[in-house]
A and B are shown apart, each in its own frame.
Chain A
């Protein structure tokens, strides 16, 4: 069964450093998403991406964040200058909505980002 994959599973970085989190969405999916879950809190939407551009973003997704689909398979989240509060699980998701209401988002296993 196709699945979303994410690398690395765990990333440790120093405050102020740039990190890139990688995702390979399900191959025939058209919509891509990033979410995060700070320890003990709920899963929060960051950004959605369709047709090579950002479709929606939350207020969390500020100028420190960017997303890219550098090739036909990868989808990346970059944090330019990490802060302690960026420590969280980051989940990638994809869906094959094609603009339909009943689109299900399928999630990857997550990347645990630890900022020291």
Chain B
């Protein structure tokens, strides 16, 4: 039961170019979406989030876009830097304060010099 899907297990991008990571969801009760970055043997690190009432949120090099009708969100990183190489997880939750996050399987982003 994959309520949050990241269909690309890996993505390779040249340094300086734009990285676009995609995420689809099926549960229409999800109201809040987050992107986390994870290095091996570390916990997920919060990057950026968006609530369902918005369609875009920007923070420095990171922008998240939400298309609620298509149940699709994407993370744009521009320009991509070598330190961005990591696994990126899309996560979603409902409107309850104590709701757990539902994660996708992750996309391994590799930034090539």
Contact = CB atoms under 8 A, between A and B. Distances in A.
- Chain B at the A interface: mostly helix, strand, loop or mixed? loop
A99 B104 CA distance: 24
Interface string B89-113: 1010001111111111110000000
B42 interface: yes
A100 B97 contact: yes
Contacts, number: 76
For chain B, give the interface size range: 20 to 34
Contacts of B49: 102, 104
Contacts of B85: none
B36 A107 contact: yes
- Chain A at the B interface: mostly helix, strand, loop or mixed? strand
B32 A110 contact: no
B79 to A, nearest CB: 25
12 contacts: A33-B100, A41-B105, A42-B105, A42-B106, A43-B101, A45-B101, A46-B100, A56-B99, A99-B97, A102-B32, A107-B45, A108-B43
